[in-house]
Amino acid sequence: MNRPSWQIGPDSTSEVRRYSRVAFTTEAGVRLADCPIAYSSWGTLNEAGDNCIVVCHALTGNTDAADWWSGLVGSGRVLDTDRYFVICLNVPGSPYGSIGPLTVNPETGVRYGAAFPAFTVRDTVAIHRIVLEDLGVTQVVLAAGGSLGGMQAAEWAFETDFVKTAAIVACGASHSPWCIGWSNAQRAAIMADAAFEGGAYELDHQPTAGLAVARQIAMMTYRSFGEFYDRFGRRLSDDGSSFSVSTYLDYQGQKLVSRFDANCYIALTRTMDSHDIRRDRSELTCCPTLVVGITTDVLYPLDEQKLLSETLPDSELAILDSPFGHDAFLIEQNKLNALISEWLNKIKRTRRSFATHVACDA
């Protein structure tokens, strides 16, 4: 296998910047002297620094939100790059520029690999806030994301001195035993690959078989029974050697292998497992929040979003009706843009103190 190039790619719509000089101590007490954080941004930060929108990416996502969320990010969309400074910061543990298993540990001179320290979702938001404040951001108008991005948005909602509103899409109040089980199965597939070598593999000898299987497992949770049935049925592949759904899953596994790192996948799924907004919080005080659930999401069933909305003291539930399961937050972008826009416009109409701060009218 050719060594992957850990970057967004030649067709990216954004320039990836890398912010270094971030000293950080994780929740577990691990002190890191320099934690580079990659980000992409669009629009211009105003003089007051209070027109920022934070977009949070999902598990294998990158910072190019204008590409994977083009229906929401851009001129005239809810995340309006003409009016706001829109920024997407890369999650620690990712292979796309932030500190992670691919980063060289300055204490040892070799990559962290499997020894990369655990980052919680709360750690991610904390280190991202450091970067934002160093960039001159004084207020976040909206923090929004889906799946792992939704978990980050949920944590941003508790930064009430800094964040005005949050949109949490396709996740629950905590990572459920159901979700942790799926994550564990994916990690087990990677670790069972003989090439994994305890996480000490060379980059040009990745545990590709295990990582591909992990992606196949994940793909079965990202869509719905009905969508798979309608899309594939019991049809055979073109050469008749397997079912077409098997061919699809094989393709998705190989596609991820060409652009991702196995240790990074393990680290990020563990970050997702840490998600629990109630952990170590005696009170749940948050900014106005929209919780969006998807009707056919089998990974984060709609009841989880209902519970999350009931748990957060200042929230509203919106339902995205779609046959595409969990991935609807990436597929049904026009519908999602409309749901968030409608809610933000309501906030602006009904709360005068938000009139000059909240993104709306998209």
Supply 95's token pair. Answer: 């292979």
Amino acid, res. 159: E
Instruction: Look up tokens 């680290």; give the residue.
Output: 267
What is the enclosing helix (H) or strand (E) of 291? strand 289-294
Distance CA 211, CA 265 (A): 8
Is 248 within 8 Å of 242 (Cβ atoms)?
no
Give whole-number Cα distances, 360 to 2, 83, 235, 354, in Å: 45, 10, 45, 11
Distance CA 289, CA 24 (A): 28
Q: Please say if 326 is a catalytic residue.
A: yes
Supply 281's token pair. Answer: 């919080």
Distance CA 212, CA 186 (A): 9
Pairing status of strand 85-89 against strand 37-42: antiparallel
Among 41, 147, 315, 341, the active-site one is 147
What is the enclosing helix (H) or strand (E) of 116? none
Supply 75's token pair. Answer: 């001129």
Distance CA 121, CA 155 (A): 7
Amino acid, res. 291: V
Among 326, 327, 341, 357, the active-site one is 326
Is 311 within 8 Å of 304 (Cβ atoms)?
no
Distance CA 337, CA 144 (A): 11
Q: Please say if 275 is a catalytic residue.
A: no
Distance CA 159, CA 295 (A): 29
What is the enclosing helix (H) or strand (E) of 168? strand 163-169
Among 80, 273, 297, 327, the active-site one is 297
Is 131 within 8 Å of 37 (Cβ atoms)?
yes
Q: Please say if 82 is a catalytic residue.
A: no
Amino acid, res. 154: A
Is 314 within 8 Å of 154 (Cβ atoms)?
no
- Active site amino acids: 147, 297, 326
